[in-house]
Chain A
Amino acid sequence: MKRNKTLKTVLALSLMATVMTSCSSDDDTPEVVNEEEIITTMTVTLTSADGTATLQSQDLDGDGPTAPVITADNLTANTTYTGSIQLLNETETPAEDITEEVEEEADEHQFFFGLSGSLTDVTYTDTDEDGYPIGLEFELTTGDAGSGTITITLRHEPTKPNDGTLADAGGETDIAQTFTVTVE
């Protein structure tokens, strides 16, 4: 009986000792995480016979508090532009080209274009392995001079085929960016 009690006391004390010692051991510095999937920059290059115009949205802190910086060159009225989209992760050095990833998984991605004002028409000029549009390559037509907006949305896992509207496509938004452009 006596021995039993002593044993329990020793056990309890040694457990306490274990806990107390384990308190002072940890001093590790955590490893930094640089997000891999993040898209910080979308550059839309629009080429016509007259030259090249660029639309860009750059959000270097990702989901941080700083809003994306949006720039848009002026476009020429009544012109058809050949457009292409490039996506970058600039939190890494050198920057990672996310465009390649979208190309590789083209069947799981699609860009959607919403137009208003002097921007009149968009047609897809690329397709995935199943023959459905992707939107990395497209043609954009401008109307008369004025101003217009183009909203570019990248969805992953959309329903394919779809009627070209976001509502019909579903999926998850990777990018949703509106550019206001002056057409002259």
Chain B
Amino acid sequence: MKYYLYVFVIFCSSIICAQDCNSILLGEIVDFHDNSTLSGATINITGKNLSTVSKENGKFTFKNLCDGVLELEISHPECTTKFVTVTINGDTFSEIRLEHHLEELSEVKVIGDVPKSTNSAQENILSVKDIERNSGNSLGDALKKIAGVSTLNTGGNIVKPVIQGLNGSRILILNNNVRMQDMEWGEEHAPNVDVNANQNISVIKGAAAIEYGGDAIGGVIVLEPLPVVRTDSLFGKTQLNLSSNGRGGNITSSLTKSYKSGLYIKAQGSYKKLGDLEAPDYILSNTGINESGLSLNVGKRDFEQGWEGYYSYFNSEIGILRASHIGNVDDLINAINSDVPSIINDFTYDITQPNQEVTHHLGKLSYYRRFEGFGKWTTQYDFQQNRRFEYDIRVGDDADKASLDLKLTTHSVLTNIKFDAKEGFDLKVGALGRYQTNFANPDTGVRRLIPDYDKYDFGLFAIGSYELNTDWTLDAGARYDFSRIDSKKFYRTSRWEERGYDVDFADIIIEDLGTQLLVNPVFDYHNFSGTAGFHYEINDKDHLRFNYAYSQRAPNPSELFSDGLHHSAARIELGDLRIKSETSSKLSASLERNTSTWGYTLSPFLNSIKDFILVEPTGVEFTIRGAFPVWSYRQTDAILLGVDASLHNNWSSKIRTDHKFAWVRGTDTETDTPLINIPAANFTNSITYTNPKWNNFLVSLESQYVFEQTRFPDNIEVFSPEQQENVILDINTPPDAYHLITLNTEASFTLKNKNDLTVGLSASNLLNTNYRDYLNRQRYFVDDMGRNISLRLIFNY
């Protein structure tokens, strides 16, 4: 097949009758997008030994041509080479349009700066190297590398990212431009993402990237596969990790076939198996993981149009710490007061109850087309299905039955047009439609924690950026989102009355079953978001960014509907049907300096959130099984104030130090008390020695100091049936500060091609320190992970 390149040729033929082989071709090279002229393009006439270069005004001429058809090859350092056929009929004028925005085609810049999604917002990008080093970890762990990102853990392998103090539904994860729908319902729902399937990971702190959704009050995590180079090639990469802690590892392999025509096909697979993790003094029983992932990309990326089909499958079976499964409040009191977990078994790879098994399918079809002098139209359909089983310790006939069996299916259609025809001004408008349905299987024999529901979303947005001059770039955007949630839920009559719903929501009851009521809540939410900011280039080295983002987030199903005993957490969780959207106003600024020897980033932020939704322990409820702590959702006004700072210094070409500090302070302004679950301040310092002459040898030593969280809500007082008196349940007191050392070393070797094998060895928690982290719910029961020595082999071919 000929590689046809789509061409627009405009003829302005003169009427002058000319002799054969005496014609002149006058041409003009212009930019496809904004019609600006391009100088320095080389024009060859194929088959003839004639070439010229376009002048300052983009013009070029060939003289003494014969009438007939010619083929021109036009190349420009910043553009893809283009072939154009021109019919010469006397003196001829031809305008030739070149694609000048290479970074947009993502064809060439495999190494180097990755284009940012926003101008004025704080955005951090994780390098391919960093992702490789975290290949054996979860997404949350990998992101911790970025100042201001911490994690909320509900297990060694259940890790959710926290950005500037916010987590869960407030953080949007985009996997290959598909919004992940799976992690919103509770702390134990970690994102189902294979960190190895994506090689570009960026974090946008705050809601500035409203293109992706207006409700990302905490931030947006963008995961993208590496762009495919447009050449005829076949390449692959295999990475193997072996870890001492968990006594297992993971392997991931990818193979990409690309063609010069822009066609590509990429397949990737990974498998991970770890047994029980270990704290310094004991085994963390039942914390193993079994995970497999597969993804397939097929597409064609052309100059004017392109399409892509993507499918990914992810399956994960995760053990939940055995000792964290407790009976009642006395068990919890005992666990909190005890230094050692109640259950320690021998090491095993087996995963038993309590555990969870999650399968996630994701499919996507997308298409784009550019229109000359106008812009680019993109449209996408995506599909997701998330199936989640949670197994509890159950007895008798139900022993192997799941306690939770949810199937969440989502369809989305999105489309947008980017107008980039005018130099220095980009405008993007788009629309989104989404339908989601959740099915909670009644066969579990357990009352549903999340009810059946249908959710409809519709969104419209416009974002623009304007280059005022070479120093100032302004950007702004607005978005409207409509959401409707239509649920059918059973309430115990006693709960319905206790919550006062019989007064406020009497009209939504559709069936009365005596002890239970079937209700049909239908809630509509209209949410608005807006953002504005600037990027000021003070000089080559110094940049200042400032952004204001206003965003609203509708409550998620767990915040509205949670009702009942959450067995694996040994707590009664209560949502509230009265919860409305929360509204965030965030001011963020960022001052950066980057020179060849040193650089820093200083990013303060202030986030004022009205009707902030939180869940916290509020008391106890008595059942025949004993007393259980009650965690209730409520809304309040909150202020989060913080700063992320980083500094690096190249002491010589071989020695570099990095310093990072993140601090955030969260306050409930209605009660003037500290907010729960706000990460403690942390300070990370590292020193790296590299020597390219010794097989790219690298060794780095990192020290991470996590301060004690001193601001936390009061503990609650509960009645202990065992002790027959009221006791303080020490559920909110954070653990002590801790200090961890990590050592990392790597080198690359040549087997077949240059540096195609990288060998790395790392040791995290090198000193095998006993510690507990405030944002780890297992902190009540066990110490965190001890030393982990891991070996990694990366082979490129």
Contact = CB atoms under 8 A, between A and B. Distances in A.
Interface of A: 1, 5, 8, 11-12, 15-16, 18-20, 22-23, 26, 28-33, 35-37, 39-42, 57-68, 91, 101, 104-105, 108, 114, 116, 149, 151, 155-157, 166-167, 170, 172-178
Interface string B17-57: 00000000000000000000000000000000000000000
Given A19-B435, A67-B622, A156-B395, A61 B444 contact: no
Contacts of A114: 722
Given A12-B367, A29-B518, A59-B623, A5 B305 contact: yes
Given A42-B624, A151-B722, A177-B624, 18 more contacts: A8-B367, A16-B381, A26-B437, A29-B488, A30-B442, A30-B490, A33-B446, A33-B490, A35-B446, A37-B395, A57-B624, A59-B623, A65-B498, A116-B724, A172-B326, A172-B327, A175-B625, A176-B625
A44 B381 CA distance: 62
A105 B451 CA distance: 33
A59 B624 contact: yes
Contacts of B489: 30
B442 A31 contact: yes
B494 A61 contact: yes
Interface string B483-498: 0000011101111001
22 contacts: A8-B307, A11-B367, A20-B433, A26-B454, A29-B511, A30-B448, A32-B518, A33-B444, A33-B445, A37-B395, A39-B624, A42-B624, A62-B492, A64-B494, A66-B494, A114-B722, A116-B724, A172-B325, A173-B327, A175-B625, A176-B626, A177-B626
Nearest to A149: B724
Contacts of B343: 170
B454 A19 contact: no
Contact of B327 (A60, A104, A176): A176
Contacts of B511: 29
A176 B6 CA distance: 77
B602 interface: no
Given A23-B435, A33-B444, A63 B395 contact: no
A152 B494 CA distance: 26
A157 B326 CA distance: 12
A61 B4 CA distance: 72
Contact of B6 (A1, A41, A149): A1
Interface string B468-504: 0000000000000000000011101111001000000
Contacts of B756: none
B621 A67 contact: yes
Summarize A's interface: helix, strand, loop or mixed.
Answer: mixed
B398 A36 contact: yes
Interface in B349-368: 365, 367
A32 B445 contact: no
Interface string B622-644: 11111010000000000000000
A120 B61 CA distance: 113
B412, B564, B623 interface centre (most CB from chain A within 10 Å): B623
B396 to A, nearest CB: 5
Contact of A176 (B365, B437, B721): B721
Nearest to A42: B624
A163 to B, nearest CB: 16
B396 A173 contact: no
Contacts of A173: 326-328, 330-331, 625-626
B410 to A, nearest CB: 10
B621 A35 contact: no
Nearest to B307: A8
Nearest to A8: B367
Contacts of A57: 624
Given A15-B365, A65-B621, A108 B722 contact: no
B256 interface: no
A63 B327 CA distance: 13
A170 B335 CA distance: 11
A12 B379 contact: yes
A136 to B, nearest CB: 16
B4, B325, B394, B395 interface centre (most CB from chain A within 10 Å): B395
A41 to B, nearest CB: 8
Contacts of B395: 37, 101, 105, 108, 156-157
A151 B305 contact: no
A37 B498 CA distance: 24
B669 interface: no
A1, A39, A64, A170 interface centre (most CB from chain B within 10 Å): A64
B722 A166 contact: yes
Given A19-B411, A178-B724, A63 B367 contact: no
B428 to A, nearest CB: 18
Contact of A62 (B331, B437, B444, B623): B623
Given A20-B433, A33-B442, A68-B622, A63 B488 contact: no
Nearest to B395: A156
B306 to A, nearest CB: 10
A168 to B, nearest CB: 11
B445 to A, nearest CB: 5
A41 B623 CA distance: 10
The 5 A-B pairs at the shortest CB distance, nearest first, are namely A173-B327, A176-B626, A63-B565, A65-B498, A67-B622
A37 B394 contact: yes
Contact of B516 (A1, A32, A167): A32
A60 B435 contact: no
A153 B724 CA distance: 14
B572 interface: yes
B513 interface: yes
Contacts of A41: 624
Contacts of B622: 59, 67-68
B693 to A, nearest CB: 52
A32 B491 CA distance: 10
Contacts of B553: none
Given A23-B435, A176-B328, A61 B515 contact: yes
A38 B515 CA distance: 14
A63 B498 CA distance: 13
Interface in B505-544: 511, 513, 515-516, 518
Interface string B748-790: 0000000000000000000000000000000000000000000
B342 interface: yes
A11 B367 CA distance: 10
Interface in B423-466: 433, 435, 437, 440, 442, 444-448, 451-452, 454, 456
Contacts of A157: 393, 395
B178 to A, nearest CB: 14
Nearest to A40: B624
Given A16-B381, A19-B411, A63-B628, A176 B433 contact: no
A178 B515 contact: no
Contacts of A5: 305, 369
B488 to A, nearest CB: 5
A70 to B, nearest CB: 10
Contacts of A167: 334
Nearest to A4: B305
A20 B498 CA distance: 39
Contacts of A63: 564-565, 572, 621, 623, 625, 628
Contact of A32 (B328, B413, B490): B490
A98 B722 CA distance: 24
Contact of A36 (B445, B515, B621): B445
A12 B327 CA distance: 52
B413 A91 contact: no
Contact of B452 (A8, A30, A155, A178): A30
B398 to A, nearest CB: 6
Contacts of A22: 411, 435
B494 A32 contact: no
Contacts of A176: 327-328, 330, 625-626, 721-722
B4, B6, B488, B492 interface centre (most CB from chain A within 10 Å): B492
A167 B330 CA distance: 11
A33 B624 contact: no
